[in-house]
Amino acid sequence: MAHPTYEWRPPERGWREQDLFDLPEDGNRYEIIDGSLHVTPPAGPEHHELADDIRMAIRLGAPTGWRVIREIGVRVPGGNLIPDLTVLRPGAPRERMWAEPVDIALVLEVESTGSRRHDRFTKPALYAEAGIAHYWRVERGDFGPVVYRYRLVKDVHYDLVGTIGPDDAVTVDEPWQMRLDPSSWPR
């Protein structure tokens, strides 16, 4: 059985948010970085399962009005990104497809083979430039997930404030006080 193809051409100018609406809903993640389109293939079930478990862990301790959303769009300078998880502050508009950085307290990326460089270098720089206070990156270690926690410094860059490994159930203070136990998340 032949698969339908989608023929598209890049715009004659740089890519913009409105161009994303014309792309196919094929499971790929389409993001814009400095006017260039970045396409990431769909993540595997293990990636989604880990992101879901982290989302539930964060949501369990969320104060009233805070929301933890999977794969919502985030506007950043020069583009649009889609983190694996976004924590929205109370009062953030519910109907928006693309969240504004002022409404975001934390973004989280679960690293995968196809996203490693962007999750470690490109995306944190853009999230910091946008003024998002906290960035977490989750890697699959040999013994389970490891969370690298970063805090925005001088509205310019992130500093590592700590890591949480599968043997390190700890209480963190960002964006609110909560207990995290990576040993309960899938490897």
Q: Are 53 and 66 in contact (CB under 8 A)?
A: no
Strands (E), 34-123: 36-40, 67-70, 73-76, 79-81, 85-88, 98-99, 104-110
Confirm whether 149 is domain-assigned. Answer: yes
pLDDT of residue 79: 94
Taken in order 124, 153, 76, 54, the sign of the CA dihedral is positive
Is 148 inside a domain boundary? yes
Residues pairing with 99 in the sheet: 74
**pLDDT confidence tier of residue 1, bands split at 50, 70 and 90:** low
Euclidean distance between CA atoms 3 and 53, whole angstroms: 33
Does a structural domain hold residue 8? no
Burial of 154 (C-beta count, 10 Å sphere; 0-12/13-18/19+): exposed
Q: Is residue 7 part of a domain?
A: no
178: in domain: yes
Per-residue pLDDT tens digits for 19-52: 999 999 898 999 999 999 999 988 899 999 999 9
108-139, pLDDT tens digit by residue?
Answer: 999 988 888 899 999 999 999 999 999 999 99
24 domain residue, yes or no: no
The answer to whether residue 30 is domain-embedded is: no
3-state secondary structure of 20: helix
Instruction: Identify the CATH number of the domain in which residue 61 sits.
Output: 3.90.1570.10
Answer yes or no: is 94 within a domain: yes
Q: How many structural domains comprise the chain?
A: 1
Residue 161's domain spans which residues? Answer: 42-184
